[in-house]
Amino acid sequence: MHTIGPHTSIAGGLYKAAEQAASLGANGFGMFTKNQRQWRARAITAEEADRFKETLLELGFEAGQILVHDSYLINLANPDDEKWERALGAFIDEVRRVEALGLNLLNFHPGSHLGELDTHTACRRVAAALDQAIEETEYAHLVIENTSGAGSTLGSTFEELAMILDASRHSGRIGCCIDTCHAHTAGYDLSSIELFEVAIARFEALVGLDKLWGMHLNDAKSGAGSRLDRHASLGDGTIGWQTFDHIASDERFASIPLVLETIDESRWAAEVARLRWGKDHERSL
């Protein structure tokens, strides 16, 4: 069975993310471990970590079903050495927070070279940060998320994801997350099953399906190649339900977390139900 659920809230305690996911009929979820728009956060206490782990056990969630997302402020491609060091320190803290909770997947955006570096140099800079983070932590896996490609951001092409992996000394702990909205608006048209298969074949050729460790299932408000990162509820955008139904029934993606970041929380239960059990079940809700 596929692992499917939304990115849930930690308001009121880290364990609340698991409780919300379970209430929506999910068997996986995404989460932050701190406020994603702040640099600093107090350490996770032993009591918080224990309650989180106990809640996962009670609700039947396993570590591999949870895809943590890091802070939006972190830019591991920053060309300024002082700002890069700050980003690296914050990223290492994020990895340690994941490990403190007994989890093992940390999703992150590769960042932006701010127009001051060429793509190859910027990708090597990201890889250097990942290598240092891996050397200073224990076991958590680092999951690069593709981007829409606006401005000077990295990661909008599968070639760039491959560059980062190839530049790392520790690529065994590094994989990728494909965000469907980001891929579509970056130019990999996903608006039909056939076009999705063209895109996933390209990813397989350049990166490898063994390096696909998660997906974000989001429809897109804007068109293919628009480079606009605007998520839509499933079926309301320019990708459409047929692609999402296909992903959720494809055994190639059965063992990785498929996380919804769609914009209307009131529809999450119906989206999860359709993805997990098919469109007829969703219509009966």
- Exactly one of 2, 7, 69, 124 is catalytic; name it: 69
Long-range contacts of 15-24 (CB under 8 A, 24+ apart): 15/48, 15/51, 15/52, 15/54, 15/55, 18/52, 18/55, 18/56, 18/59, 18/61, 19/55, 19/59, 21/59, 21/61, 22/59, 22/60, 22/61, 24/268, 24/269, 24/272
Residue 216 annotated to the active site: yes
**Residue in 124, 231, 267, 274 annotated catalytic:** 231
Catalytic pick among 202, 261, 265, 281: 261
229 classed as catalytic: yes
Which member of 2, 125, 141, 182 is catalytic? 182
Cβ(5)–Cβ(24) below 8 Å: yes
Residue of 54, 58, 62, 72 with catalytic role: 72
Instruction: Give yes or no: 179 in active site.
Output: yes
Q: Is 231 a catalytic residue?
A: yes
Tokens representing 256 are: 């990785």
- Given the residues 109, 113, 124, 267, select the one marked as catalytic: 109
State the DSSP code for 117: S
Of the candidates 93, 94, 179, 282, the residue annotated as catalytic is 179
**145 counts as catalytic:** yes
Catalytic residue among 70, 93, 94, 145: 145
Q: Catalytic site residue 261?
A: yes
Catalytic site includes residue 246 = no
> Is 281 labeled as catalytic in the residue annotation?
no
**Residue of 219, 229, 271, 282 marked active site:** 229
182 is catalytic: yes
Asked whether the beta carbons of 133 and 95 are under 8 A apart, the reply is: yes
**Is residue 188 flagged as an active site residue?**
no
Hey, which residues are catalytic here? 37, 69, 72, 109, 145, 179, 182, 216, 229, 231, 261
